[in-house]
Amino acid sequence: MMTAPAPFLLKDASVSRVMTQVCLALVPGIAAYAWLVGPAVLIQLVIASLAALLAEAVMLRLRGKPLAMFLSDGSAVVTAWLIALTFPPLAPWWLVATGTVFAIVVAKHLYGGLGQNPFNPAMVAFATCIVSFPALMAQWPSVGLQMPLLDQIDIILGLAPRVDALSGATPLDAMKTALKLGDGEIDVAHLLANQDIYGNFAGRGWEFVAAGYLIGGLWLWQRRLISWHAPLAFIAAFVAISGALWLYHPATFANPLFHLLSGGTMLGAFFIVTDPVSGCTTPRGKLIFGAGAGLLAYIVRVFGGYPDGVAFAVLLMNLSAPVIDLLTQPRIFGMKDES
Amino acid sequence: MTRDELSTIAWNGIWKQNTSLAQVLGLCPLLAVTTNAVNGIMLSLATILVMALSNVAVASLRNFIPHEIRIPVFILIVAALVTVVDLLFNANLHQLYLVLGIFIPLIVTNCIVLARVEAFAAKNPPLQSTFDGIFMGVGMLWTLALLGGLRELLGNGTLFGGIDMVFPSLQPIQLLPADYPGFLLGLLPPGAFILLGCLIAWKNWLDARAAARARRQPPAPAAALGCH
């Protein structure tokens, strides 16, 4: 009997195949997002993809790597899509392009390219831009904004003036600001019930975007492309800390469901903390990584100055990932513990 | 002192052992102060003054300072000179003094100063030591000026911001269009780290290229000049 040499892989797990499926898994979320804020999202996806491929090609050329092989692996496109989905959909084109180029050039290639980056490139782009351009990164389209495609393109390309009325805060930001201004007299339940920006559970319409990411993430898990450890730990940590604070003082802390369906929680849980390169690799390590990211994301989101904390939390956990991996090495079968 | 000696000292200070790009010393003021070229240049000028004076002082006294307590003695000498510079800045360039703030007194603890005193002035005659201090400072000067210029260009689109604090008649140059949004990262500490890393990589790349070229044509007499 003839067999191929080990390893005996059951399925083709090439980088480009995995990346294609990750892109597919993002589609439900993207569809809900495009339905919510209009086709601007799709334009941002195109801008980010073009910028990523261009930056990737230039860096590969400079580093003397084969262009075709690395360009077609799709990793740059996944990074670009994650960036486009975390940036405000009506942001000027150069904002998304700057973030993407920074992610590909600095966060990916300066550290050695695919598989070598200690930080998640998409989160580096988000953190860089929110620190560098705080005003533009806070301009989210207001709820129920109806705007023709051409007008949206004009705004993104900078041909039309950026009208302030077009932009509102995210549901998370609106809640933080209202609670701060209300100074103890406004409670969360009142805000959720009376403000137009909120739907049944979280931000109006944003709930469906989060649900879309959840569906895509569960599909990735079902396909065995991601393991359950990091997402479950991330969500569990989020529920644990938000639930505890909510039970302690429901007037000033929103319930766990609100936090799960707001901001970048779902996108982060299934597409960011599951990054095989910048995250942990051991099963126990993934649990610690996910839980740490969830806790930090909640703390930055609720007590920090930025609208959402997922990016900063993931970057901080990226820093600790090598140590976590070192401390959680599984026992090798047949060997004693404590080698 | 021969010409050769002088050119070696100059080449070491300005390029080969550049305080920021090769020795990577004194990062604290480098990162904190270089938010524009003017701050970087002025702090470097203050450091040059301190380094030249402390090197000549230590080199003159090097045969009288007991070896065991040389570090405290060096620090005392440097501290006295820094106090002079600090008072000079406070009196003559008060606005800039407020901007540079703690970093002028902190020149005392700047490891570049102590490193040159310990590594060079304590073993060499005063004249050479003076030039070593000056050229090490010049190496720091151009690096800080370049880094500061890059940072403010990226962050503000200007060059020589704050020049009016030194020469009241001059204005900063607006290099990029006035509606340039400003890549704030350049002005923040991470931007300084990233740009410094790029500058170090640039120097290493130039050095590696020069070394490769020297290997290709080994017996060239031009190599003895020590310039590229």
> What whole-number distance in Å separates Cα of residue B41 and Cα of residue B55?
20
Q: Give how far A315 is from chain B: nearest CA, Å.
A: 14
Range of the domain at A82: 14-168
- The answer to the question of residue A8 being in a domain is no
- The answer to the question of residue A24 being in a domain is yes
- The answer to the question of residue A331 being in a domain is no
- C-beta neighbour count of B67 within 10 angstroms: 7
Identify the domain boundary among A104, A137, A168.
A168
Residues A209 and A133 in one domain: no
CB contact under 8 A, B194 and A136: no
Q: Give how far B190 is from chain A: nearest CA, Å.
A: 9
Q: What is the pTM of this model?
A: 0.85
DSSP character for A110?
Answer: T
CB contact under 8 A, A131 and B188: yes
Residues of A in contact with B190 (CB under 8 A): 131
Residues A192 and A278 in one domain: yes
The two tokens of residue A274 are: 């599951």
Nearest residue in chain B measured CA to CA from A106:
B194
Domain borders along chain B are 3-214
Residues B7-36 have pLDDT tens digits of: 999 999 899 998 889 888 888 888 888 888
| Residue indicated by tokens 């005003």 | A135
Identify the domain boundary among A138, A168, A198.
A168
DSSP character for A5?
Answer: P
CB of A133 less than 8 A from some CB of B: yes
Q: Pick from A106, A131, A133: which is nearest to B181 by CB?
A: A133
Nearest by Cα to A314 from A121, A153, A36, A99: A121
- The answer to the question of residue A93 being in a domain is yes
CB contact under 8 A, B183 and A131: no
Are A243 and A256 in contact, with CB atoms under 8 Å apart?
A: yes
Residues A133 and A262 in one domain: no
- The answer to the question of residue A338 being in a domain is no
Residues A183 and A155 in one domain: no
CB contact under 8 A, B194 and A133: no
**Helices in chain B by DSSP H: which ranges?**
3-11, 27-33, 37-61, 70-92, 94-100, 111-116, 126-155, 189-216
Reading chain A (339 residues) residue by residue, the pLDDT tens digits are: 566 667 666 666 688 888 999 999 999 999 999 888 888 899 999 999 999 999 999 999 999 888 887 888 889 999 999 999 999 888 889 999 999 999 999 999 999 888 899 999 999 999 999 999 988 888 887 766 667 777 778 888 877 777 665 666 777 877 777 777 766 667 777 777 777 677 766 777 788 899 999 999 999 999 888 999 999 999 999 999 999 999 998 888 888 888 898 888 999 999 999 998 999 999 999 999 999 999 999 999 988 888 888 999 999 999 999 999 999 988 888 877 664
Residues A83 and A179 in one domain: no
Residues A92 and A215 in one domain: no
Nearest residue in chain A measured CA to CA from B187:
A132
Identify the domain boundary among A148, A168, A188.
A168
Domain count, chain A: 2
- The answer to the question of residue A22 being in a domain is yes
Residues A158 and A230 in one domain: no
Report residue A140: phi and psi, to 5°: -100, 145
Q: Mutate which of B151, B154, B176, B183 to disrupt the A interface (most A C-beta within 10 Å)? A: B183
Q: Pick from B181, B182, B185: which is nearest to A128 by CB?
A: B185
Residues A159 and A48 in one domain: yes
